[in-house]
Structure 1
Amino acid sequence: MTNSSVQPDLRPLPLPPLARDPLVSILVANYNYARYLPDCLNSVLQQSYGNFEVLICDDGSTDDSLRVLAEFAASDHRIRFIAQPNGGMASALNRAYEQAKGQLIALIDADDTWHDSKLDRIVQAFQQNPAAGMVTHQLRAEDTDGRIVRRILPPRLDSGWLAPRCVNGECLRLPPCSALSVRSEVAKSIFPIPPIFRSSADRIVQERALLYSEVAAVPEVLAMYRVHGNNLTGLAGPLDSLSIQKTVAFLENVWKARAEFVCEIHGISLQPDRWRVAEGSEYQLALSLLAKDGKARPDVSLISDRKRRIAWSILTRLPDAIAIQGLRFWWRPNPVKRFTDSLSRLFS
């Protein structure tokens, strides 16, 4: 067993050859997204790659979701749905996964849509990268009126064997739920996702997949990510003390699940303390900044991500009122950030 102060020697697990035309099991967790479900499911049914099944768990919706799901299931035998009392995103994905028969598992949020070639490109990527247990791609973010919030999300993607960077507390460039697909061998270790993750369960899918095997990235926009009040934090940091405290509580659960998974899969014992420093310091800085109490702030040098470390070095040198405005500007989507993202893609 390895002590948490030592950098562990993690190695990807081998994967067997993938079938030529693998069945893709598409998992959908739905809660009160009746108005978005038709666009979501139609985008799946219009895929140019046709060997798939759609497994939907309705998580106690109180809107018209069950009627919409029943109509779609009656119109296409590849769609099956389950209804359960509200238990959260992880619980719903777990129930959907129980029905999965595919060699590949793909996730899509009930309010998102896929481009027609999405599954074709994903299957191709798995075939071309036999060591990859997860394939990711980029998305376009739109609001509920179809206005573009961000043309490419994230601007760049990380790939390869990312486990050492993850356990080092680095901030990895990975997309949200609707851009994640994994091999069934990896999915067996991912599921069941701890039900404590009532939201953002895709974070656990990301982490467990990259801690198991290599990641392949398709640098193309293959889906639309819908931005609205319920998921705005997917594009912005927490902007008040209560939200930051909730984010830190969520991260504590992520770190605990990460340590348990590394121990289970690799037989290496790690303590969450190593991530509280590397990944949690900026949130402690934000809390101290918003408190305006003049107390000493956490050491900026402890932040693992270079870009964040530079930003915080600047913020901590500014008067509190200006620094808070700077924090809100940094953690919110805005035209300047979109412009700089575009420039970075041009010169990368």
Structure 2
Amino acid sequence: MQELKIEKLEPIELSELKELPLVSILIANYNYEKYIGETLESVLSQTYSNWEAIVCDDGSKDNSCQVIETYVKKDSRIKLIRQQNGGVASALNTTYSKSNGEIVCLLDADDVWMPDKVQKVVEAFQSDLKGGFVIHDVYQIDGQGQLIKPTPMIKNLASGWVALSGLEHGGRFENIPPASALCIRREVGDLIFPMNEAFRRNADSLIFRLAPFVTEIVPVSEVLSKFRLHGANLTSFTSITTDILVREHETAKRVHQEQKQFLKKIYGVEVAESLAGLEANVWHYYECYLLARFQGAPRSERKKVHHLLVTHPQFHAAFSYKPLKWLLRWGESLPNALFLALFNQISHESTLKRIARSIQQGTLGLFGIKR
């Protein structure tokens, strides 16, 4: 990461884009032989032609590389880099280091872009010279490519300069879609990359949790990609374990620490220290409460977390799904086994809604984990 200290929290200056800027497409692949071909076909179908696609195969054990090689031979704009398994952040660092584009777009190896995706992203960047982070809406599809629901994932995409809100809410930004809908200018990428390679999963969270601190967000309301949910990347409520909750909770802490270090690097100690703690966001206490329930914590200990959750200023707005809100609000008196049974039932009935909300609210894949 280059060092760039400025006096106050404000968007960085961006250079003027060329008329037809090069767009670098970064793809981290691991054992997605089943999907990577369709993903690369969607790249080849783009109406905008000035792009390069850099695929890092992160030590796949299936036939992913053979599939990718057929596309390398088909189009010289596609490049394949092989490395030993190091995780998502490591693979994305590799792709970024080999990229040259003024615009950088992430694409998960199992997702699909609409044909005009890159064209629309370029136009969005060109329409707002202060915006270094373009996002757009997505559809959810299943493992067979069928729409899970006909409506886009996010109703109101984040927009503009939201850094101050991020500081106030513990580094969480709402209404930002998953990885294949994230696009940044090179100036922004140079501040974020290389990413901490301890993030073997959820590496895209570093991008959407860091970029808004240095640049404005430009939303594209159109659906420009399909976000695939399938058995290999989806952790459903019915299979949530204490270990998963602990891991995701620890990831949230590590992301928050990365944000603080990033702010210190860019703005200095004073701005970094103004980043509110995780407790400023209601989702932190939601995670804590679920963990207490799954671990069978003593009721006296659990009640403290429960009180902080249901009295949090964001509680009612965050939990719009009434059955879950009711359970969280009034279920504290229930025996643990009954609470968990009801929670699993409610969760099973609304798994996809919960996945969408977890992504929107930035809860780091608690309900939907890629890779």
TM-score (norm 1): 0.87
CA distance in 1, matches of 2:57, 2:92: 10
> Which residue of 2 is the match for residue 253 of structure 1?
254
Report the 3-state secondary structure (helix = DSSP H, G, I; strand = E; otherwise coil) of the residue aligned with 1:146.
coil
Q: Cα RMSD (Å) of the superposition?
A: 2.8
Asked if residue 334 in structure 1 is aligned to residue 350 in structure 2, the reply is yes
Q: Give unpaired runs (5+ residues) of structure 1.
A: 1-7, 342-348
* CA deviation after TM superposition for structure 1 residue 303, in Å: 6.3
CA distance in 2, matches of 1:276, 1:116: 41
* CA deviation after TM superposition for structure 1 residue 190, in Å: 1.1
User: Counterpart of 1:315 in structure 2: which amino acid?
Assistant: L
* CA deviation after TM superposition for structure 1 residue 156, in Å: 2.5
Preserved CA contact (<8 Å) 2:167 2:275: no
CA distance in 1, matches of 2:58, 2:351: 36
- 1:237-259 per-position Cα deviation (integer Å, ceiling 9, x unaligned): 98432221111011111011010
> Which residue of 1 is the match for residue 328 of structure 2?
315
* CA deviation after TM superposition for structure 1 residue 331, in Å: 5.0
Asked if residue 196 in structure 1 is aligned to residue 192 in structure 2, the reply is no
* CA deviation after TM superposition for structure 1 residue 181, in Å: 0.5
CA distance in 2, matches of 1:101, 1:84: 20
Preserved CA contact (<8 Å) 1:54 1:80: yes
Task: Flag the 1:231–1:190 CA change in 2: closer, same or farther, 3 A.
Answer: same
The equivalent position to 1:275 in structure 2, one of 278, 290, 300, is: 278
The equivalent position to 1:175 in structure 2, one of 170, 174, 177, is: 177
* CA deviation after TM superposition for structure 1 residue 143, in Å: 1.2
Q: Give unpaired runs (5+ residues) of structure 2.
A: 1-6, 358-371
CA distance in 1, matches of 2:289, 2:275: 19
Task: Flag the 1:159–1:317 CA change in 2: closer, same or farther, 3 A.
Answer: same
* CA deviation after TM superposition for structure 1 residue 219, in Å: 1.1
User: Counterpart of 1:242 in structure 2: which amino acid?
Assistant: D
Task: Flag the 1:206–1:236 CA change in 2: closer, same or farther, 3 A.
Answer: farther
Task: Answer with 172-181 or 295-304: which moved more.
Answer: 295-304
User: Counterpart of 1:141 in structure 2: which amino acid?
Assistant: Q
Task: Flag the 1:271–1:281 CA change in 2: closer, same or farther, 3 A.
Answer: farther
> Which residue of 2 is the match for residue 187 of structure 1?
189
Preserved CA contact (<8 Å) 2:27 2:95: yes
CA distance in 2, matches of 1:232, 1:80: 28
Preserved CA contact (<8 Å) 1:142 1:225: yes
User: Counterpart of 2:154 in structure 1: which amino acid?
Assistant: P
CA distance in 2, matches of 1:214, 1:272: 18
* CA deviation after TM superposition for structure 1 residue 42, in Å: 0.7
CA distance in 1, matches of 2:8, 2:344: 38
Report the 3-state secondary structure (helix = DSSP H, G, I; strand = E; otherwise coil) of the residue aligned with 1:229.
coil
Which stretches of structure 1, 4 residues or more, deviate above 4 A after TM superposition?
235-238, 303-306, 309-314, 320-323, 329-333, 335-338
Task: Flag the 1:159–1:329 CA change in 2: closer, same or farther, 3 A.
Answer: farther
Asked if residue 218 in structure 1 is aligned to residue 220 in structure 2, the reply is yes
CA distance in 2, matches of 1:129, 1:330: 43
User: Counterpart of 1:308 in structure 2: which amino acid?
Assistant: A
> Which residue of 1 is the match for residue 304 of structure 2?
297
CA distance in 1, matches of 2:8, 2:347: 34
- 1:89-127 per-position Cα deviation (integer Å, ceiling 9, x unaligned): 000000011111110000100111100010111111111
> Which residue of 2 is the match for residue 164 of structure 1?
164
Task: Flag the 1:335–1:36 CA change in 2: closer, same or farther, 3 A.
Answer: closer
User: Counterpart of 1:158 in structure 2: which amino acid?
Assistant: A
> Which residue of 2 is the match for residue 229 of structure 1?
231
User: Counterpart of 2:39 in structure 1: which amino acid?
Assistant: C
Report the 3-state secondary structure (helix = DSSP H, G, I; strand = E; otherwise coil) of the residue aligned with 1:36.
helix
Asked if residue 153 in structure 1 is aligned to residue 158 in structure 2, the reply is no
Percent of aligned pairs with the same amino acid: 31
Report the 3-state secondary structure (helix = DSSP H, G, I; strand = E; otherwise coil) of the residue aligned with 1:297.
helix
* CA deviation after TM superposition for structure 1 residue 314, in Å: 5.5
Paired residue total: 332
